[in-house]
Amino acid sequence: MVPIDMRDPAIQRGSALDFSSWCDVRPAGSDGQVIVGPQGRLVFANVPTKRAVFWGCALNMGPGGAFSLRHDISTIDGDHV
């Protein structure tokens, strides 16, 4: 195993930390709207054979989650649910 050189923290193209090939750089909506395909999966209207995949993160922190009560949520976002 080769250690990662942290003297230059920029991610080098082609390295194990380079996820740029996973990203589509075209504008959102290039493949049409997201619809439910015949198999019940999310696909794009203009390319129904291409599954729609979304990247994100979960904000819950444990069994009860970060926001377990409606009051907690309204306190965070400044709105009343």
Residue range 18-32, pLDDT digits in tens: 888 877 778 888 999
Cα 52 from chain centre: 11
Q: Report yes or no on 53 lying in a domain.
A: yes
Q: Is the pLDDT of residue 9 over 60?
A: yes
Q: Report yes or no on 52 lying in a domain.
A: yes
Domain carrying residue 72: 32-81
Q: How many domains does the chain have?
A: 1
Q: Report yes or no on 45 lying in a domain.
A: yes
Q: Report yes or no on 27 lying in a domain.
A: no
pLDDT band at 33 (very low <50, low <70, confident <90, very high): very high
Q: Report yes or no on 6 lying in a domain.
A: no
Q: Is the pLDDT of residue 44 over 60?
A: yes
Q: Write down the H helix ranges in the chain.
A: 70-77
Q: Is the pLDDT of residue 66 over 60?
A: no
Q: Report yes or no on 68 lying in a domain.
A: yes
Q: State the average pLDDT over residues 66-80.
A: 54
Check residue 75 and give its pLDDT: 56
